């Protein structure tokens, strides 16, 4: 029996990076998985891989900053998979800039993708979970939602908001049997991390080497972050809610 045997999971940002790793892992652990993303080619490739390994999956084109898309994603998941037990809010972007250098459009976009998407997906999913007797929600925050980082004002603000939104929802929806937790990854070897180097105008190799400067001396792997999300989504975490789990190689330890 897998850790998510018989569960139905919806993952935003599931076409690449941590979301892709989580979709594959959740499916291998017995879940039927809905992969929601704007990247149709990438999302469908994840679904095809899950199906090729004998799992159940579907792709849903979804802009998680739009209420209608979020409602449709939840409705389609329930209609095609038979219910919704796990929601992994993982869609996210970063813009590296101080408040002086950031423009208003970038600020608004970071807040929309990183925070508003969590609000909208949960607004659609919580009533479904509550009616079914409960569920598990996992949000992707960041180590920079626990401590500050340089030249990342909008990102830090957005991820700090995810941490506190997670805790607020845990208080509100615990009585309905819904657990709400977040993971706080450190620098992870994904395309988004390399985009940061470009935004800062730094050589990628040097940027990645600097990012690995933490107690464990390396970057995280998407598969490692997915394992933390799996734990919080599973019954192994049945008495865990309102937690912000750092998965950062010790980056925020001191």
**Is 252 a domain residue?**
no
| H/E stretch holding 110 | helix 104-111
Domain count, the chain: 1
Is 178 a member of any domain? yes
Q: What would the pLDDT profile of 45-64 be if each residue is shown by its tens digit?
A: 999 999 999 999 999 999 99
Hey, what are 20's tokens?
Answer: 């892709």
For the chain, percent of residues with pLDDT exceeding 70: 100
Q: Note down the domain range covering 118.
A: 8-236
Q: Note whether residue 210 is domain-resident.
A: yes
- Looking at the domain assignment, is residue 207 inside a domain? yes
What's the CA gap between 217 and 190, in Å, rounded? 17
Q: What is the DSSP letter of 112?
A: I
- Rounded to two decimals, the pTM is 0.97
pLDDT at 1 over 90: no
123 lies in some domain: yes
SS3 72: helix
- CA dist., res. 106 & res. 154, Å (int): 8
Q: Which residues, including other chains, have CB under 8 Å from residue 123's CB and lie 6 or more apart? A: 67, 70
Q: Is residue 242 part of a domain?
A: no
- Predicted confidence at residue 55, as pLDDT, reads 98
Is residue 141 within 8 Å of 244, Cβ to Cβ?
yes
Would residue 163 count as lying in a domain?
A: yes
Segment 67-75 mean pLDDT: 98
Q: What is the CATH number of the domain that holds 130?
A: 3.40.50.720
For 75-104, how does the pLDDT look when each residue is reduced to its tens digit (9 = 90+)?
Answer: 999 999 999 999 999 999 999 999 999 999
pLDDT at 28: 98
**Active site residue ranges:** 155
Could you tell me if residue 174 is inside a domain?
yes
Q: Region 202-228: what's the mean pLDDT?
A: 97
pLDDT tens digits for range 149-172: 999 999 999 999 999 999 999 999
User: With 90 as the cut, is the pLDDT of residue 194 above it?
Assistant: yes
Question: What's the rounded mean pLDDT across residues 179-186?
Answer: 98
């Amino acid at each position: 029996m897998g850790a998510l045997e018989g569960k139905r999971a919806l993952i935003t940002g599931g076409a690449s990076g941590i979301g892709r790793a989580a979709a594959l892992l959740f499916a291998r652990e017995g879940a039927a998985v809905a992969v929601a993303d704007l990247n149709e080619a990438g999302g469908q490739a994840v679904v095809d891989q899950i199906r090729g390994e004998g799992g159940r999956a579907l792709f849903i084109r979804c802009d998680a900053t739009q209420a209608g898309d979020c409602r449709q994603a939840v409705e389609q998941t329930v209609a095609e998979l038979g219910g919704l037990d796990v929601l992994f809010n993982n869609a996210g972007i970063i813009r590296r800039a101080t408040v002086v250098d950031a423009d208003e459009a970038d600020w608004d976009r970071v807040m929309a993708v990183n925070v508003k998407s969590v609000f909208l997906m949960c607004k659609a999913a919580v009533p479904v979970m509550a009616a079914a007797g409960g569920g598990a929600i996992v949000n992707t925050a960041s180590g920079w939602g626990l401590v500050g980082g340089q030249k990342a004002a909008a990102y830090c603000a957005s991820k700090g908001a995810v941490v506190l939104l997670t805790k607020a929802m845990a208080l509100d929806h615990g009585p309905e049997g819904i657990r709400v937790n977040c993971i706080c990854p450190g620098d992870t070897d994904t395309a988004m991390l390399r985009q940061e180097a470009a935004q800062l105008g730094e050589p990628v190799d040097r940027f990645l080497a600097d990012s690995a400067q933490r107690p464990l001396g390396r970057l995280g792997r998407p598969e490692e972050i997915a394992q933390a999300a799996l734990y919080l989504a599973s019954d192994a975490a049945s008495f865990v809610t309102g937690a912000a789990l750092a998965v950062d190689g010790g980056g925020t330890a001191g």
